[in-house]
Copies of this chain bind each other. A is one copy, B any other.
Amino acid sequence: MASKRVAVIGASGYGGLQTLRLLDQHPGLEVSFLGGERSSGKRWSELVPFLPLPGDPLVQSPDPAAIAAAADLVVLSLPNGLAAQMVPALLERGLRVVDLSADYRYRSLEQWKEVYASEAREVPRSDDQLCGQAVYGLPEWHAEAIRGAKLVAAPGCFPTASLLGLLPFLQQGLIESQGIVIDAKTGASGGGRAAKEHLLLAEASEAVAPYGVVGHRHTSEIEQAASQAAGQAIQLQFTPHLMPMVRGLLATIYCRLRDPGLRAEDCRVLLEAAYRHAPCIEVLPVGTYPSTKWVRQTNRALLSVQVDERTGQLIVMAAIDNLVKGQAGQGVQCLNLMAGLEATSGLPLLPFYP
């Protein structure tokens, strides 16, 4: 079977770089178009000397017609607000799109405008219908819809780790809907490749700090998916922390069991069952806690649970690589499903340790 042709737009950011690396030697997908606004016209090797690509392609201006001529599928790795400028034209030309930005993660344009108010002020959008049609690209929960989707909005690192840990318990109604706390820890690459003072090594190394406390944008995205799974409105506490490391994301989730008799092993079995057919999820034995290092540069999510029988609290821990399962690997997993391939095609699942 011939490989599907994939266009990667926004190739030299971290999302793009990971996508290209994952598609190199992919058994069923091949990169046929490299798009970038600022870097258009340049040879790839000039921009990125450390990731030689076959034929050293030119980066091209992301013109929809040119993309449509070269590709079947498109991955957009662009800043929030910019993807929405391209998606309608790409869909019109029959392309199928995986968007790594937040532009289509909400079911309504209105909600996006509320949460991404600054982007909304700069970018006129009226594609409310597309927002409603886009599929939320979390393959462990929406594989069937992704397979047939034209537009997939792949969730980023924080919602991915948080939801993989929470959804099974919410869906089964095993935890209280109030008082859920997600304390999340992310590596500095989550802030992207654009230079920012607070992400300098000199600033971010030997430092741990919270940010966006109360009201971080991803709170509403997590709540949207959590509410859908629970069948009721969920409001929760999400607090991200910046870690002094390049990659990796850990979500430590605290919630209260409805049935105080449940033990950690029961909860583990439930997780195991929920993800029985999810090849990228591994549930650890009770008492083994996930390290972000164990999933570094893989598309795997590691989950673990513990229960405090004194307090009735359930603690769910989820570790992923923020740039793979939390971004580009998720995108490739979606592409795989859209192309009729195995979900894990071309995706590394084992780490190079240490």
Closest-CB distance, A161 to chain B (whole angstroms): 12
Once bound together, how far apart are the Cα atoms of A336 and B205, in whole Å?
32
Q: A200-B199, A202-B14, A236-B311 known; A208 and B245 CB under 8 Å? A: yes
**Contact residue among B185, B197, B202, B289 (Cβ-Cβ distance under 8 Å from A246):** B202
Residues of B contacting A48 with CB < 8 Å?
353
In the complex, the count of this chain's copies comes to 4
Q: Which residue of B lies closest to A250 (CB)?
A: B208
Closest-CB distance, A118 to chain B (whole angstroms): 17
Q: Mark A213-245, 1 if CB is under 8 A from B, else 0.
A: 111000000000000000000011101010111
Q: Mark A302-324, 1 if CB is under 8 A from B, else 0.
A: 10001110110101010100011
Q: Does A210 contact B (CB under 8 A)?
A: yes
Residues of B contacting A248 with CB < 8 Å?
206-208
**Contact residue among B199, B313, B354 (Cβ-Cβ distance under 8 Å from A189):** B354
Contact-residue bracket for chain A: 35 or more
Q: Does A284 contact B (CB under 8 A)?
A: yes
Q: Which residue of B lies closest to A204 (CB)?
A: B201
Q: A201-B201, A252-B241, A311-B237 known; A50 and B291 CB under 8 Å? A: yes
Q: Does A296 contact B (CB under 8 A)?
A: yes
Q: Does A49 contact B (CB under 8 A)?
A: yes
Q: Which residue of B lies closest to A213 (CB)?
A: B306
Q: Does A147 contact B (CB under 8 A)?
A: no
Q: Does A2 contact B (CB under 8 A)?
A: no
Stretch at the interface among A16-24, A100-108, A150-158: A16-24
Q: Would you call B237 and A207 a contact (CB within 8 A)?
A: no
Q: Does A140 contact B (CB under 8 A)?
A: no
Q: Would you call B211 and A289 a contact (CB within 8 A)?
A: yes
Q: Mark A329-354, 1 if CB is under 8 A from B, else 0.
A: 00000000000000000000011111
Closest-CB distance, A179 to chain B (whole angstroms): 6
- CB neighbors of B among A248-305 (8 A): 248, 250, 252, 254, 256, 282, 284-285, 288-294, 296-297, 302
- CB neighbors of B among A177-209 (8 A): 178-179, 181, 183, 185, 187-189, 191, 193-197, 199-209
Q: Which residue of B lies closest to A242 (CB)?
A: B291
Q: Would you call B352 and A208 a contact (CB within 8 A)?
A: no
Residues of B contacting A187 with CB < 8 Å?
202, 206
Q: Would you call B243 and A308 a contact (CB within 8 A)?
A: no
Q: Does A69 contact B (CB under 8 A)?
A: no
Q: Which residue of B lies closest to A14 (CB)?
A: B354
Q: Does A148 contact B (CB under 8 A)?
A: no
**Contact residue among B181, B185, B306, B310 (Cβ-Cβ distance under 8 Å from A185):** B185
Which 6 pairs of residues, A with B, have the shortest CB-CB distance? A207-B293, A50-B294, A209-B291, A195-B195, A189-B202, A183-B183
Q: Which residues of A contact B (CB under 8 A)?
A: 14, 17-18, 21, 24, 48-52, 178-179, 181, 183, 185, 187-189, 191, 193-197, 199-211, 213-215, 235-237, 239, 241, 243-248, 250, 252, 254, 256, 282, 284-285, 288-294, 296-297, 302, 306-308, 310-311, 313, 315, 317, 319, 323-324, 350-354
